[in-house]
Structure 1
Amino acid sequence: MTNPYLTLEGVSHVLPTGRVLFSKLNENFDRRATGLVGRNGVGKSVLARILAGELTPTIGRCSRSGSVHYLAQQSGPPTAGTVAALAGVQDALDALTRIEAGSSDGADFDLLAERWDLPQRLQAGLRDAGLAHLRADSPAHTLSGGEAMRVALLGAALSGAGWLILDEPSNHLDARGREDLIDQLRRWQGGLLVVSHDRELLGHMARIVELSPLGLRSHGGNYAHYAQAKARENATAEEELARRKLERQRERKILQVQRERQERRLARGQRQGREANQARILLDRQKERSQGSGGKLRQAQDARRTELDAQVRDAAGHIAPEAAIHLHAMPTPPPFSSSHGVVLFEGVRLPFGAPALRGPIDLSLHSGQRLGIAGPNGCGKSTLLKVLAGVLPPETGRVLRQAPAVYLDQHLGGLAPQQSALARLRQAAPRSDEARLRMLLAQLGLDAGKAEAPSGRLSGGERLKAALACALYADAPAQLLVLDEPSNHLDLPSLQALESMLRNYRGCLVVASHDAVFMRQIALGERLRASDTGWLLEPWPPA
């Protein structure tokens, strides 16, 4: 297809609750690889489904050229189906089987769409993705989150569609998987729209489109260009709002002085008239003239105040009404002195993981140390973190932990689906009053309704914020903070707030993440890297 397009014409969408998610969106998406960004909850996934034709807008229309392959955001490993179903080719493979058995049904030929070599291409794609051990009929529930995402992305490549619409495609992928994804998208010849918070992936887009409560705004260029343009626009809008507020304040003072002068003149004229013993009728006429003059002045001043207020509202309207995500600084851990440091591994053998990486491991971490854990999916990073934090015992060896630890896993296991964020935070911080706990959650973007709702009803990003609150604001200050993929599901402003908080944390920090930009931003000092011979401790950043 020479010129694929997706076009929004006056598109609005209203949720079943009656809340308007977005309204009157007009935009054209062309062949350029485009990244769609925006705060969590603003409606990016809903808009992606509308563009893919999976959802009808409440108002307006979406037109498209060619077929669209839509990959929804993966919340975790699949629980049912096969590898072929996960790749979106199960129906086509079933049609091929029926045709080979003698079927002449036109629907089967339509499903196959001339892809006679689909089984071979699927198997070759699995092999190239490092998944040669899988077959089309392999149960999908046996796959890890990263494997499931690679299979789904392979399905996108095999789809033959004119458009790919991918929602958070780098979730669960390790560094190699992310590199392969970027290569795959670079080779793609059709239209491409990627919903993502992955700054490295967005750096390879040709255009960034931002969805906010103000609507859609297109920025030519990649993420770096968008970030610079966004910063300039925000600074200009903030300056204009400040200027309009100052102008309103200054003119209000002038108007007040004018009114006070008018009132003094009126009072002085009435007093002088009485002192001059003027006739009652003359005094009444003079009073009427003064009151008429004062009334006109008040009308003019009221009109000017209304105009000034409108100018301030207009200036404020150019700033997206987004509550800033605020993370309070974590308590500074008390002075800690121990010859063994914060945690000590002596001959530790991990219960799970790649054979060469299970151990024995000797490791000593001290207060203030900042360590990144690096390695591919399945190498044992999460197991190592759990043993470090005391969540999982070692198979053999000794772990000497000298300080309280906080562990946040990537699946947010500490949050029971039926328990609210507020209830969980009460358990973590029983000495804090409820008003403060509600304030802390609100400043993370969890209002009263979300704070009291069962955690299972929250979005992935909202659940992560709730888990972060329980980890960060517990009564006992953590001297060891262990985080497993903490950047998953966070929108860009929340991610930047988390980075700022972690840079200022003064305890021992251990973080595993495949987000290279995030790892660069949190001021690590060393990394523990998985290698063919075991775990290697290296300076950060690596040479």
Structure 2
Amino acid sequence: MSHQPVFLSTSALSFAWPDGTGVLDDLTVSVGPGRTGLVGPNGSGKSTLLRLLAGELTPTGGAVRTAGEVGYLPQDLVLDTGRRVDEILGIDRKRAALHAIEAGDPAEEHFAAVGDDWDVEERARAVLDQLGLGSIGLDRTVGEVSGGESVLLRLAALLLARPDVLLLDEPTNNLDLYARSRLYETVEGWPGVLVVVSHDRELLERVDRIADLHEGGVSWYGGPWSAYREALAAEQEAAERTVRAAEADVRRQRRELSDARVRLARRRRYAQKSFENKVVPKVVANTRRSSAQVSAGKHRGLHEERLAEARERLEVAVEAVRDEDEIRVELPSTSVPPGRGVLLLRDVELRHGARVGGFEVRGPERIALVGRNGAGKTTLLRTVAGELEPARGEMEAQVPLRFLPQRLDLLDDALSVVENVARFAPAATGNAVRARLARFLFRGARADRPVGALSGGERFRATLAALLLAEPAPRLLLLDEPTNSLDMASVRKLTAALDAYEGALVVASHDLGFLESLGITRWLLLDDGLRPTTPEELREVLSTVE
């Protein structure tokens, strides 16, 4: 790390995708030392902002300034499965030179490659140990590690590089409880500038401040997530009070304008009657009528101006109240009678060696599938979904099922959202597809955006819409880490929808709070076979070092 002042800043930063879709506009923000949690609704531009700060995207306007070296961990991490661990860590050339020197080769280029870093292997193993990856050898390939381990492996590379600024985008996705605890320790001990985008409340409790990206601007809140929620709730309560007061003022101004119009109408009728009955001379009556019309115009204009001002104050007050758009998940009617066979596995062994044995699902069961990273949860779900053949045994799905993979790779990046969803339901009309997409916040032109330009949360919504509109409707849902890319409002909505679902569920997740909210009827731990467990036992087992 450098010893110069470290910071990140943007000046009038703007960014739009090649199709013209705007993401950020005239954003000016500065981040100094400490841990910052960057939060905001899906699609607000959090991941895009991190990519701009990391230099992976070029702004369409404005500028990004960084003082110090920047390290970036992307949300959708893809590593070449053929590369070795030491290559990912960036120490392969130094290791090769070190081994050559140890073998007796005194070539100058070997000493130049090593430099002063003679303990590079020891440092690498220490970092791997710190992240719970001590059992992974430096000569293994990425294809031999799990998705969660590959995230930690990339983080280990960043820790070895020791950048001044660390940018993390949803780093706890796919991590089990033990791996998450390791990452939490790393975040808490980070000495420089750290910005993390996450929906993980436990992680956000470990930051110094919250930066809330909302409607194109950033609001700052001191303290962790809980302090931010309290402050935001107080702000919203005050904003709602202001709205109520502004609404009352509008109603009062309307009444006063109406009353003024009634009074002025009466005065005009009185003046007209006096003229017709010749109560006063014609010249006087004309003067009074003219004066009354001028007075009426001024009076009416004054009240109309007051009403317009009251309405403007109301509009400003309403804008201060957040009305977060949430997905409206309406699952099809897919009830499964109690006792009805749904899924049957007989003496199954997975392709990667994990033994499952017998496994049966009946009726509207809700099964939580949990286990350490690399235990085979995703492989089991893919086998049940028919994407993989078991190495041994038989699998029989007795009802229509749908599988939501954690990598969200069901959709074609080159096609629009509406085109992708239509592929899953060829008999549905275009209007039916768009109506379903509107419930997932893809309205109008948003439904015509290419999937490749979507944020992680938007991609999740599009994938879920495609599965639920598919024919036939699913009576068994297989979900693999479904909350990974969702903001907290969407997680709440998804939880409510799954709670109302009458079919069978098998959910693989490391988020025990989310699983407990689903009314799970059976907890299964995949660890050298499937065995029953409980949330209490899981917290102990998954947080224990092997």
TM-score relative to the length of structure 2 = 0.85
1:484 aligns with 2:487: no
**Native 8 Å contact 2:145 2:374 kept in 1:** no
Mapped partners of 1:97, 1:184: distance in 2: 30
1:317 aligns with 2:312: no
| Corresponding position of 1:348 | 347
**Native 8 Å contact 1:164 1:192 kept in 2:** yes
Alpha-carbon spacing, 1:288–1:442, altered in 2? closer, same or farther (3 Å): same
| Corresponding position of 1:151 | 153
1:517 aligns with 2:518: no
Mapped partners of 1:510, 1:314: distance in 2: 46
Return the offset for 1:282. Answer: 3.0
Deviates most, 206-215 or 327-336: 327-336
Paired residues for 1:66-85 under 5 Å: 66-78=68-80, 83-85=85-87
Cα offsets for 1:231-250 (capped at 9, x unmatched): 33334323422432343134
1:217 aligns with 2:212: no
1:468 aligns with 2:479: no
1:288 aligns with 2:274: no
Partner of 1:481, secondary structure, is: strand
Partner of 2:341, secondary structure, is: coil
Question: Alignment length, in residue pairs?
Answer: 529
Alpha-carbon spacing, 1:14–1:531, altered in 2? closer, same or farther (3 Å): closer
Mapped partners of 2:324, 2:430: distance in 1: 21
Mapped partners of 2:429, 2:249: distance in 1: 42
Mapped partners of 1:80, 1:273: distance in 2: 101
Residue number among 438, 442, 465 corresponding to 1:442 in the alignment = 438
Mapped partners of 1:203, 1:415: distance in 2: 34
Residue number among 181, 187, 190 corresponding to 1:188 in the alignment = 190
| Corresponding position of 1:102 | 108
Alpha-carbon spacing, 1:466–1:525, altered in 2? closer, same or farther (3 Å): same
Return the offset for 1:2. Answer: 8.6
**Native 8 Å contact 1:525 1:540 kept in 2:** no
Residue number among 128, 133, 140 corresponding to 1:130 in the alignment = 133
Mapped partners of 2:84, 2:195: distance in 1: 26
Deviates most, 437-446 or 464-473: 437-446
RMSD across aligned positions (CA): 3.4
Partner of 1:410, secondary structure, is: coil
| Corresponding position of 1:535 | 530
Alpha-carbon spacing, 1:541–1:451, altered in 2? closer, same or farther (3 Å): farther
Deviates most, 46-55 or 493-502: 46-55
Mapped partners of 2:347, 2:119: distance in 1: 49
2:435 aligned partner, one-letter code: M
Alpha-carbon spacing, 1:174–1:77, altered in 2? closer, same or farther (3 Å): farther
Return the offset for 1:315. Answer: 0.8
Alpha-carbon spacing, 1:63–1:18, altered in 2? closer, same or farther (3 Å): same
Question: Could you list the runs of 5+ residues in structure 1 that have no partner in the other structure?
Answer: none
Alpha-carbon spacing, 1:474–1:230, altered in 2? closer, same or farther (3 Å): farther
Paired residues for 1:403-442 under 5 Å: 403-429=399-425, 432-442=428-438
Alpha-carbon spacing, 1:145–1:226, altered in 2? closer, same or farther (3 Å): same
Alpha-carbon spacing, 1:475–1:237, altered in 2? closer, same or farther (3 Å): farther
Cα offsets for 1:252-300 (capped at 9, x unmatched): 1331222132123212321221122654433332221111011101220
Partner of 1:309, secondary structure, is: helix
Alpha-carbon spacing, 1:523–1:18, altered in 2? closer, same or farther (3 Å): closer
Percent identity between the two aligned chains: 31
Mapped partners of 1:5, 1:47: distance in 2: 18
Mapped partners of 1:22, 1:198: distance in 2: 27
Question: Could you list the runs of 5+ residues in structure 2 that have no partner in the other structure?
Answer: 539-546
**Native 8 Å contact 1:4 1:162 kept in 2:** no
Mapped partners of 1:300, 1:237: distance in 2: 28
Return the offset for 1:152. Answer: 1.1
Mapped partners of 1:79, 1:445: distance in 2: 35
Mapped partners of 1:210, 1:91: distance in 2: 42
Mapped partners of 2:23, 2:286: distance in 1: 58
Deviates most, 263-272 or 49-58: 49-58
Residue number among 267, 271, 285 corresponding to 1:269 in the alignment = 271
| Corresponding position of 1:458 | 454
Return the offset for 1:536. Answer: 0.8
Deviates most, 417-426 or 370-379: 417-426
Mapped partners of 2:291, 2:260: distance in 1: 17
| Corresponding position of 1:253 | 255
**Native 8 Å contact 1:34 1:208 kept in 2:** yes
| Corresponding position of 2:357 | 360
| Corresponding position of 1:86 | 88
Mapped partners of 2:63, 2:252: distance in 1: 44
Deviates most, 398-407 or 193-202: 398-407
1:325 aligned partner, one-letter code: E
